Amino acid sequence: MADGLGFWVGGVTEFGGQGKRAKPLNKLGRFNLTSKDWQIEETPFGARVNGSTVFLAVGEKGVLLNFGGQEYPKVGGPGAELISFDTIQIYDIAGHSWHGQRTSGDHTARDKAVGVNANGIPHGRLNPCSVAVQTGGASDLSYHVYMLGGYWEDVDFHEVWVLSIPSFRWTLVKHSKNIDSSTTSQLDYSLTAMSLIPNSVI
């Protein structure tokens, strides 16, 4: 939510029982809660599904950070690929513009049994949950974006990562053994949600 606006990024059309094929979208939707109007904009990247988006109160009207999930190179086509966390997409709400931002990783995480690539950046995943926490004051404003869980194929990721901004560095802050999602004996982090309350992330 930003200045009376709500957003969605990507996703798929859902036709229910009409027998039509679901179609991934390379769109961003802006909803004005005052006028009840929708604006639909095309994104400069492929159709994205099962990712995560957070709002940061920076700049004129704020920005959206979009990361994770899968991307279809051709809208409606096959061949979806995991989106790497080495680049996140940033949407400037006032300017209606996107740009890609490179990130760095936590090299100490490479020696741990977690979902991490060679550069210490989280392994690609579907449906991670995330929340942005503002830190610092007006002169040194910064954010920590917490990301929990997600899954890929038969593996649920039992991890908490933090993306620090403005350094755009990923840090692993908590992990446990990632498990086969077909088991039912442990807590499932594959489809969860995070919320911010005073002094806590739940």
Q: For each successive 10 residues of the chain (202 residues), what is the average pLDDT?
A: 85 66 86 95 92 94 96 66 94 97 88 72 94 84 94 88 96 72 44 50 48
Cβ proximity of 89 and 95 under 8 Å: no
**Every domain of the chain and the residues it spans:** 1-102, 104-202
For residue 182, CA distances in Å to 58, 105, 124, 154 come to 41, 30, 19, 7
Query: From CA 28, how far away is CA 84, in angstroms rounded?
Result: 20
Structure tokens belonging to residue 63:
């920005």
The pLDDT of residue 198: 52
Instruction: Provide the pLDDT for residue 118.
Output: 74
**How many whole angstroms separate alpha carbon 123 and alpha carbon 60?**
33
79-108 pLDDT per residue, tens = 678 999 999 999 999 999 999 999 999 888
Q: CA 7, CA 194: separation in Å to the nearest integer? A: 17
Of 118, 183, 194, which is closest to residue 160 (Cα–Cα)? 194
What is the pLDDT, as a whole number, of residue 177?
Answer: 60
